Amino acid sequence: MIPSTIKRRLIPSKSQLKIILVLIIYTILICILWNVKSVSWILWPFKIMTVTLHELSHALMAICTHASVKKIIVNPNQGGKTVYAGGNPYLIIPAGYIGSSLFGSLLIFCGFSVYTSKIATLVILLCMGCTLFYSNGIFTFIFTSGVLISVILLIYTKKSKAIQYFVLFLGIMSGLYSLWDMVEDLIKRHVESSDASRFAKLKGMDWLSPKIWGLLWLLFSLLSVFTAIILALLVFNNEEQQQEECQEDGWELLSTQHQQQFNNNFNEDDNFGFGVV
């Protein structure tokens, strides 16, 4: 039996319902833009950004398995490559999709709160900085530097809602990257260099086809995104979080004083509207 307190927290507030609706709209919009060639260019910068995070996941797992990462390459045609020596390919190859799913799920979780969304932008900056460190090639360097500057400018604007929407969009792009990529590489056409194809060629992994491995990674992505939403409801669905959503936009990661002043001025008879503007 699920405790009644947990059941109550799983019921989304007004603001959380709007965030869930935004995620659904984002997913549908990305599906359309990703597959319609005439408008797919709109997603190009976000595709490259997602590919960058995908390749960074390969690199981080390579480091964790004592491999030497030589370089990370991202191409304008939305392709990427992580060059490494040594390590465990059984962990490194699937780390691209799995890492993208976990990173995207983390962003989705953070996107349910204005303050954690701001913290998430710092994580994005850290990831882009790591990619820049291992970058090789003019395009990778220029694009990664451009993302760093763009995120810093977004933070500088102090528009909390804009930051929150950006984090949610990048989260759903990265969290469901296996879906977008599997459709292109394994359904529309078969790409021998895809992660699923390379993984299926490893010793002992050929008992499943690349499409099945891709499907398993897709199921993991869906589970990760769903888990992130459930955890966000459990963590952020309370009166304090709703009060936080009412506060004015501002770039304060630890606004303890501001929160205290807000609580002192808060009266039970006051009416507040909650929602994503």
Q: 135-168 burial, b for 16+ CB within 10 Å, e for fewer?
A: beeeebeebbeebbeebeebbeeeebeebbbbbb
Considering Cα of 155, then 52, then 71, then 142, what sign does the dihedral take? negative
The share of the chain scoring above pLDDT 90, in percent, equals: 29
Contacts of residue 93, defined as CB under 8 A and 6 or more positions apart, other chains included, come to: 58, 195, 198, 199, 202
The share of the chain scoring above pLDDT 70, in percent, equals: 79
CB 175 within 8 A of CB 108: yes
In this prediction, residue 253 carries a pLDDT of 44
Q: Which residue has the higher pLDDT, 243 or 151?
A: 151
Q: How far apart are CA 28 and CA 227, in angstroms?
A: 20
Q: Is the pLDDT of residue 36 over 60?
A: yes
In this prediction, residue 68 carries a pLDDT of 92
Mean pLDDT of 193-212: 85
In this prediction, residue 192 carries a pLDDT of 63
Q: Which residue has the higher pLDDT, 261 or 201?
A: 201
DSSP string, 150-197: HHHHHHHHT-HHHHHHHHHHHHHHHHTHHHHHHIIIIIIS--TTSHHH
In this prediction, residue 189 carries a pLDDT of 53
Mean pLDDT of 72-98: 89
Q: Is the pLDDT of residue 130 over 80?
A: yes
When mean pLDDT is compared across 9-13, 31-35, 110-114, 236-240, the lowest value belongs to 236-240
Task: Say what the pTM is.
Answer: 0.81
Q: How far apart are CA 9 and CA 232, in angstroms?
A: 10
Structure tokens at 207: 């008992």
